[in-house]
Amino acid sequence: MTIFTTFADHIDVALNTLIDEGLLPSDIDRSNVTIEPPRDASHGDISTNAAMVLSKAAKKNPREIAQALAVQLEQIASVTEVEIAGPGFINMRLDNMVWRDEMLEIAKRGDDYGRAPTKTGKTINVEYVSTNPTGPLHMGHCRGAVVGDALATILEFAGNDVIKEYYINDAGGQVDTLSRSAYLRYLEALGRDIGEIEDGLYPGDYLIPVGKRLAEKYGDKYADAPEGDWLVLFREEAVDDMMDMIRADLSLLGIKHDVFASEAALHVEGKADIAEKWLRDNDLVYDGVLEKPKGKTIDDWEPVTLPLFRSTQFGDDQDRPIKKSNGQWTYFGADLAYHYQKSESADALINIWGADHAGTVKRIKAAVSAMTQGKTDFDIKLVQMVRLLRGGEPVKMSKRSGSFITLKDVIDEVGKDVVRFTMLTRKADAQMDFDFAKVVEASKDNPVFYVQYAHARICSTIRKALDEDIVPSDKKLELLEDEEYALVKEASNFSRLVEAAAKTREPHRIAFYLNDLASALHSHWNLGNDRPEKRFILAQDKDKSAARLFMAAQIAQVLKNGLKLMGVEAAEAM
RNA sequence: GCGCCCAUAGCUCAGUCGGAUAGAGCAUCAGAUUCCUAAUCUGGGGGCCACAGGUUCGAAUCCUGUUGGGCGCACCA
């Protein structure tokens, strides 16, 4: 129960009274009524637009409704003042008792403060990262990984059961390439001269240990064997090694998936065939000829009959093949089966995709909607590219030489917390720059340190106070003053923010909120420069000091809980 | 040519289900350290919310069109 939900109830009761009195029709739609803190704190503590939203249906002047509502709201014990403003806003000021109770609530619930009080009963599957198992994670994968992970954490905190899933594309042509690349390193480990690595194979050094391991395990058994003897075996071996490497990279970011789903396993289990049959039975797949691609000229293009999904029915610009002419499944075909599988164990699916996959969103949404008869809530969050800079200059990455910037390199250089926080300081669908030079700087340019510093500042103050025999205490909270209540009010917004971030699926909101809360703390702190009586530690008034420190401890708790949602450490000292 | 995303201060970006005088950081200018961590704070200047219509009590926010930018458009993944 947050302050805002409490007041939603109060307003419901007040509206019921107005209906009884005949001032409002009984069937009014309350869905647009909001209860929120006014943007400008001078307007009060809590505000509702009820009168304005309901005026049309009631055929009454909004101020008239506001007047009647105000009379009801004035009777609530915790409300000290009701004011009608502007076109019909109702602003209320609350007794400080409300904020003292909120502090006690924070203290009581601790790490769970802000967590939804009741479960939604929904299971949400968040699929993220899902990079091809052909090499280490590089920076291009990083943002989606962080956004997906933070989103999963937030959704869980907001009362949902969450499955964190990784889809392993271990069935397409790219893993055959991996197998051949690993084979080459295997020959190399056996002492053969492999010369230059040919174009089209993966040249990266990370396959050298894979080759060594294969050489140790199998000796020269496959050294002169035809490809058919080793391709599948080496593919499985190499994919396993790659996934171990990817899991290790992810753990550097603090990311741990619950489920690793294999595309190859889907095919073995015949899931794609089942999906195809279902789609054919429902006339969503038919045998047809692809149109010639537009906007691009392809030399060896020729018409072929393929099983096509009727994605044009759902707004796509052409029907899409689910199988290739060689009989293998296309990525899209397998994806249909995969999403159907996911929908069987979740009420909602969220995919975190790179923006370069934007073109395929429509068709997969259409397909999932058809296959689940619209019962599964399916959302795809597109994450825009990150441009790597160093001192304003783009960092060069060459795929050809295999010398891309790996995630591990970046974390080694700037640390997990900086990477995670920075990736969450922008809406996912906005492009962003990531500048090494700025991001390592422990300063105002960097919101991570700003927020962590606020937390550390409180921790160190409490440590210092304990040295002086002042112990944070809730015994005399009534000694707190306006500036301190203002901080508590800001902290009380945390649950609303969590709700909003979960609902809109926008983790960046937490980052901005924490920045605001940290700013309020720093600002309050500096009051003590000019006005020593505003400091937290007051040797001459231990009761007041104890109350202030208790308040500060609750601010720290909220900062900590917010940082945890982002996967960032709440430092106790800096 | 088509689809998706975006357009807010000099720069990078927030902006709650449509709500009150559109905010923050950087940059810039002027200040604050005998003081619980200055990794901080206070104040000033800086806006046609791309443009034009529409919806309504009210639009940066919703709808339509225009302009500008990014991404994508193979049976690849």
Q: Tokens 């049309």 belong to which residue? A: A56
pLDDT of residue A456: 93
A321: three-class secondary structure by DSSP: strand
Strand ranges across the sheet with A386-390: A393-394, A386-390, A432-435
Q: What is the mean pLDDT of residues A286-291?
A: 83
Our measurement of CA A287 to C1' B7, in angstroms, reads 43
Q: Which position has the higher pLDDT, A410 or A459?
A: A459
What is the distance of C-alpha A77 from the center of its chain? 39
Our measurement of CA A527 to C1' B22, in angstroms, reads 28
pLDDT of residue A362: 80
Q: pLDDT, tens digit, for every residue of A102-131? A: 999 999 999 999 999 889 999 999 999 998
- For A441, the token pair is 């700087």
What is the distance of C-alpha A501 from the center of its chain? 8
Could you tell me which of A14, A59, A60 has the C-alpha nearest to residue A33?
A: A14
For A459-521, give the DSSP string.
Answer: HHHHHHHHHTT----STTGGG--HHHHHHHHHHHTHHHHHHHHHHHT-THHHHHHHHHHHHHH
Q: Tell whether the model's pLDDT for residue A301 goes beyond 70.
A: no
Chain B nucleotides close to protein (CB under 7 A) are: 1-6, 12-17, 19-21, 24-27, 32, 35-42, 56-58, 70-77
pLDDT of residue A401: 45
Per-residue exposure over A92-125, b if at least 16 CB sit within 10 Å of its own CB, e if not:
bbbebebbbebbebbeeeeeebbebeeeeeeebb
Amino acid at A81: E
Residues paired with residue A159 on neighbouring β-strands, in sequence order: none
Note whether A303 and A288 are within 8 A (CB): no
Q: Tell whether the model's pLDDT for residue A273 goes beyond 80.
A: yes
Q: What is the mean pLDDT of residues A249-268?
A: 94
C1'-nearest nucleotide to the CA of A447 = B25
Note whether A514 and A561 are within 8 A (CB): no
C1'-nearest nucleotide to the CA of A444 = B39
Q: How far apart, in Å, are the Cα atoms of A430 and each of A355, A356, A381, A418?
A: 10, 13, 12, 19
Angstrom distance (rounded) from CA A432 to CA A539: 48
Q: How far apart, in Å, are the Cα atoms of A422 and each of A126, A430, A511, A519?
A: 21, 13, 9, 17
pLDDT band at residue A402 under the 50/70/90 scheme: very low
Say which residues have a Cβ less than 8 Å from residue A183's Cβ, sequence separation at least 6.
A211, A222, A230, A234
Angstrom distance (rounded) from CA A49 to CA A8: 12
pLDDT of residue A399: 47
C1'-nearest nucleotide to the CA of A85 = B20
pLDDT of residue A206: 93
Q: What is the mean pLDDT of residues A201-229?
A: 94
- For A424, the token pair is 């969450």
Q: What is the mean pLDDT of residues A345-367?
A: 85
C1'-nearest nucleotide to the CA of A263 = B77
C1'-nearest nucleotide to the CA of A426 = B13
C1'-nearest nucleotide to the CA of A51 = B57
Strand B contact residues in chain A (164-203), C-beta within 7 Å? 169, 172-174
Angstrom distance (rounded) from CA A441 to CA A549: 30
pLDDT of residue A154: 95
C1'-nearest nucleotide to the CA of A528 = B35
- Which value does ipTM take for this structure? 0.91
**Strand B and A132 CB separated by under 7 Å:** yes
Our measurement of CA A498 to C1' B47, in angstroms, reads 31
Cα R_g (chain A), whole angstroms: 29
Note whether A488 and A103 are within 8 A (CB): yes
Q: Tell whether the model's pLDDT for residue A564 goes beyond 90.
A: yes
Amino acid at A101: D
Q: How far apart, in Å, are the Cα atoms of A303 and each of A100, A194, A280, A295, A325?
A: 73, 40, 22, 17, 11
How many residues are given for chain A?
574
pLDDT band at residue A92 under the 50/70/90 scheme: very high
Q: How far apart, in Å, are the Cα atoms of A489 and each of A44, A100, A273, A559?
A: 11, 10, 57, 14
Amino acid at A148: G
Q: Tokens 């508590």 belong to which residue? A: A488
Our measurement of CA A527 to C1' B43, in angstroms, reads 15
Q: Tell whether the model's pLDDT for residue A566 goes beyond 80.
A: yes
Strand B contact residues in chain A (38-57), C-beta within 7 Å? 38-40, 43, 47, 49, 52-53, 55-56
- For A30, the token pair is 């309350």
pLDDT band at residue A477 under the 50/70/90 scheme: very high
pLDDT band at residue A312 under the 50/70/90 scheme: confident
Q: What is the DSSP letter of A403?
A: B
Our measurement of CA A540 to C1' B34, in angstroms, reads 20
